[in-house]
Every structure is written in C-alpha cells, then in structure tokens.
Amino acid sequence: MNEKRSNFTGKIGFVLAAAGSAVGLGNIWRFPYLAAKYGGGIFLLVYLVLAVTLGFALMTAEIAIGRKTGLSAIGAFKKLNKKYAFVGLLAAVVPAIILPYYSVIGGWVTKYLFAFVSGNGIEAAADGYFGAFISSTWEPIGWFMMFIGLTALVVLFGVEKGIEKVSKFMMPVLVVLTVAIAAYSVYLDGADGNFEGLKYYLIPDFSHFSATTVLAAMGQLFYSMSLAMGIMITYGSYMKKDVNLESSVTNIEIFDTGIAFFAGLMIIPAVFAVSGSDADVAKGPTLMFAVLPNVFKSMGTVGQFVGAAFFILVLFAALTSSISLMETVVSIISDKFNLNRKKSCLVVFIGAVLVGLPSTLGYGPWAGVTIIGMQFLDFFDFISNNVLMPIVAFFTCVFVGFVIKPKTVIEEVKISSNFRREKLFVFVIKYAAPVCIVLILISSVLDALSNVIPALKMFSI
Ligand code: TRP
C-alpha cells in the first residue's frame, strides 16, 4: 500500500476502471429481481432519483477523499480525522460479507454457462430445473467452489491484467447483447398486444411505495456503484489531479445505471411473456435463472448460442467483480495481520468458503433454516447492503458535511474543473442524505425484525 501509486492515464482510463468495478452481477442479476419484487416502475423511479442525488453526492465525496489523501479507505479517514478512522474500518467489513454470497451466485452463473455450452440449455428452461439444481446438496457447492477457487487463483497469481484486458473487450459485447436481448424480450411481451411486463417496469404504481422500497433501492444503489465500502476511495486515490472529477462521476453513473436498466428490460417483460402473468415477479435471487433460459428457448436453435454467449459474458463481469472484492479483503488482511500475500489469500479463501456454505445450503437442504425470516444468502445480502452500507454512508455524509466540511471536497473537485452541481452536493451531503438514511434504516430494520417480533410492525412506514 505504501509503494508509489500508479495513476490512471486519463479520464477514459479512470472511468473504465471504476465502471468495471461497478458493473457486475449487481446490474444484471440483482437489479432486475429487486425491481420486479418491489413494484417495477416505482422502484425504477426511486432508484433513478436516488442515483442523481445520493449516488452522485456520495461518489463525488468518496472519489475526492481518495484523490485528496492518496490513500485507501482505512488510511484516508484516519489521515483526515483520527476519530473517524472507524468509518474506514466499517467500510472494509462490507466486501468481506459480500464476497462469499457473490461467489454463490457466480457459481449459479457458471452452472448455466456449462448447461448451455454442453447443449443442455433448452432443458434448463424446463419448469423445476432450477429448483432441482438449487435444492440438491453438492452440485451448487461444487459450482460455488469452482467460482471462488478461480477467483482465488487469479488473486494469488495475479493475472488480473490479463483478465482486465479480456473484459475490456467483453464488456462492450455484453452491453450490446443485453440491449439486443432486451429488445427481444419486449417483443415477446408484446406478442399478445398489451405489453404487460413493459408497463409494469416503466409505469410507477404509487400504491407499491413504502420505506422498504426506498431502502431496497438505496441498498442496490450502494451495491451496484460499489459505494459505501471504500472502493471508490481507493479508485480516487489513483486518479490524477487534472482529470475532471465531476464529469467522471456522471459517466460512471450513466454507464452503471444504463446497464441495470437494460437488464431489467431484458428480464421483467420476459417474466410476463413466459408465465403469462406476474406470478414470478417476487421470485427474488433466483429470478434471472428461472426466466432467461425460457427467453433463449423461444429463440429456437439460435437460443442455444445466444444463451452460451450471454452466460460467458456475465461470468466475466462477475469474475472481474469477485476478483476485486477478494483483492480488497486480501490486502486489508495482509496489512492488518502482517501476513504475506499467499497466506492472506489462503485465509480469505477458506473464510469465504466457510461463510459461503450456509448461503448455498440455505437454498437447498437448509431451506427451513431462516434468520429473521430470511434465508442465509438473503440475510447476508440484507446485512451488507441494507444495514452496514447505509451506516457507512450516513457517517460518510456526517464526516464530509460537518467534520472536514463540504469545502474540502469542493476544493478537490475544483482542482480539475468547475463544480456545476455544487449546491446540490452540499444540500444532499449535509441534510437530505443523512436524514433520509436514518429514517429509512430504522423503519426498515424494524420491518425486518417484525418478522420475528410482530409488535414492531406498528413502527414501519
Ligand atoms: N458493484 C458490483 C456489482 O454491481 C459489486 C460490487 C460490490 C463490487 N462491491 C464491489 C465489485 C467491490 C468490485 C469491488 O456487481
């Protein structure tokens, strides 16, 4: 961490690298199922509003903090104010919680890729195929181990540069394919003439609005843009002083949100087209796997190839993300405990496997075991995205708004350009964001707890 920081060559390099971290399973797997579950259009609307306010302010603050201090999260907070070092530490816990269950989903993607490559893609569309896979004991564990093993190998032997090069080519292809499949899904949805799924996704229905919708959208925003976990601070620390910070933030946001939007357009209309009703919209984490093979099946023989291509691209997007997640955890462990890279890599690998196992078993033989009414995978997801990240985000806002003061960030932004949304930034970071985060967090944690303590229900909004 102490060696001289290498810099991204310019704005394009920076935006692509940060967008590479941001774009992953969060956009393609997580966004569509949340949007489907939380009312479609209303979720999309809340998400977009949050992205241009909260997302914009937090990303600007994090990148500026990183660029100003030249350090990653733990060091950066400490350098600016010793008392707030705990925020950096708290942020560092998040990737460690995400990595194991991220790899479980990565394993599911790998399984589907193999199904399509080996010519069994069409079978994967059959009712009950995914259920049978997920409820078996060893198969999901095997794919999970394979995915996380691959991630660990790359982190250990450091072929990230190679992977990065490949994904620079694959990412644009993924974008094109996603848009094309989205168009096809919308076409399927419209086959009966009324575009039910498209309407569900695009037209907000305010009766679906609740505090949980906002919390879910906020958690998704943090997750998808890799915010509130110190990652963007690290990226900022590599950013050159003359690169336009504000417009870089805008570009990353447009990129990330655009891909999530098209992934939703690819999956949600297809839900309605495939099952003829919205019966499947609340499927949760399994939605993508239950729906997409049906879309490929309806393409006929071509579908086999399109499916294989699609899953290999998603696998790459997932791998680049899991590699940087693991890399983050490994570097923290090796700094903290003075372990060499090999040892800390091994520690993280074993830890992640152990923590990941309940998440895979939770959808199978352990389906009966729940924590506050959630399966393990959903629980880890909830704790990291809907509890820890809002807490980190809250303290980041307080820190920037009242401790180092917004001017610290504003001055950093102004080194490279003028700050067009300066007023919006100050208002959001000082008042709007902290107040909203606290209200939403309390209300929805009570809501989750009311699964176990029914009396708490009266407090939720
Ligand atoms: N943003 C990534 C996605 O959308 C997931 C992610 C969260 C991530 N935290 C990260 C990726 C840290 C890399 C590093 O899938």
Q: What is the pLDDT of residues 400-411, one digit of tens each?
A: 999 999 999 999
223: Cβ below 6 Å to ligand 1?
A: yes
Mutate to test the pocket of ligand 1, among 58, 109, 226, 233 (most ligand atoms within 8 A of CB): 226
User: Using CA atoms in the order 207, 208, 210, 216, what is the torsion angle rounded to 10 degrees?
Assistant: -160
| CB of 286 shorter than 6 A to ligand 1 | no
CA of 21 to the centre of ligand 1 (A): 6
Higher pLDDT, 454 or 50: 50
Mean pLDDT value across residues 152-160: 85
Distance, CA 5 to ligand 1 centroid (Å)? 22
Question: Which pLDDT does position 2 carry in this prediction?
Answer: 43
Please give the pLDDT value at position 335.
83
Reported as type and span, the H/E element at residue 211 is helix 211-224
Using most ligand atoms within 8 A of CB, pick from 99, 231, 348 the residue to mutate for ligand 1: 231
Where are the alpha helices (H) located in 376-452, listed in sequence order? 376-381, 389-398, 406-416, 422-427, 433-449
Mean pLDDT of the 227-247 span = 93
Using the predicted structure, report yes or no on whether residue 180 has a pLDDT greater than 90: yes
Top pLDDT among 397 and 301 is at 397
- Please state, in angstroms and rounded to a whole number, the distance separating the CA atoms of residues 114 and 178: 20
Rounded CA separation 340/62 (Å): 28
Nearest CA to 64 out of 331, 328, 244 is that of 244
Q: Whose CA is nearest to atom 11 of ligand 1?
A: 321
Token digits of residue 377: 């995978």
Q: What is the pLDDT at residue 163?
A: 75
Going by pLDDT thresholds of 50, 70 and 90, the confidence category of residue 3 is very low
Ligand 1 centroid distance, CA of 403 (Å): 28
Bridge partners, 374 (sequence order) = 371
- Which has the closest alpha carbon to 285: 371, 386, 359, 373? 359
CA-to-CA distance for 183 and 248, rounded, in angstroms?
29
Q: Is the separation of the CB atoms in 16 and 255 below 8 Å?
A: no
C-alpha span between 75 and 382 (Å, rounded) = 27
Give the pair of three-digit tokens for residue 315. 């696998």
By mean pLDDT, which of 68-72, 113-117, 259-263, 332-336 is the weakest? 332-336
Instruction: Find the 91 Cα to ligand 1 centroid distance in Å.
Output: 13
State the Cα–Cα distance between residues 362 and 366, nearest whole angstrom: 5
Is the CB of 22 within 6 Å of ligand 1? yes
Mean pLDDT to the nearest integer, 424-431: 97
Q: Compute CA 318 distance to the chain's CA centroid, rounded to the nearest angstrom.
A: 10
State whether the beta carbon of 224 lies less than 6 angstroms from ligand 1. Answer: yes
Query: Cβ distance 325 to 100 under 8 Å?
Result: no
Q: Please say if the pLDDT value at position 458 is more than 70.
A: no
pLDDT of residue 277: 66
236 confidence band (pLDDT: 50, 70, 90): very high
| Ligand 1 pocket check for 234: Cβ under 6 Å | no
- Give the N- to C-terminal CA distance of the chain in Å, as an integer: 45
Ligand 1 pocket check for 95: Cβ under 6 Å = yes
**What are the structural domains of the chain?**
11-459 (1.20.1740)
* Highest mean pLDDT of the ranges 8-12, 171-175, 223-227: 223-227
pLDDT of 65 > 90? The answer is yes
Nearest one of 256, 185, 215 to 28, comparing CA atoms: 256
The DSSP letter of residue 338 is -
DSSP code, position 429: I
Residues 446, 450, 455, CA angle at the centre, nearest 5°? 100
Burial of residue 93, with CB atoms counted within 10 A of its CB: 0-12 exposed, 13-18 middle, 19 or more buried = middle
Which residues touch 341 (CB under 8 Å, ≥6 apart)? 156, 330, 334
Ligand 1 contact, 21 CB (< 6 A): yes
| Count of CA atoms in the C-beta half-sphere (13 A) of 284 | 8
> For the ranges 182-191, 238-247, 276-285, which has the lowest average pLDDT?
276-285
Q: Which amino acid is at 173?
A: V
Residue pair 419/425 in contact (Cβ under 8 Å)? The answer is yes
Calculated CA dihedral for residues 19, 22, 25, 29, nearest 10 degrees: -90
The ligand 1 atom nearest the CA atom of 318? 15
The residues, ordered by sequence, that sit 6+ positions from 187 with a Cβ below 8 Å of its Cβ are: none
Looking at residues 137-149, what average pLDDT do you find? 95
CA distance 226 to 116: 30
- Radius of gyration for the chain, computed over Cα atoms and rounded to the nearest angstrom: 21
Distance CA 221, CA 312 (A): 25
Whole-number percent of the chain with pLDDT over 70: 96
Q: Quick check: 160 pLDDT over 70?
A: yes
Q: Tell me the pLDDT band of 459, cut-offs 50, 70 and 90.
A: low
Instruction: Give the lowest-confidence range in 194-203, 220-229, 374-383, 452-461.
Output: 452-461
Residue pLDDT, tens place only, 23-63: 999 999 999 999 999 999 999 999 999 999 999 999 999 99
Q: State the DSSP H helix or E strand holding residue 267, giving kind and residue range, or none if neither.
A: helix 245-275
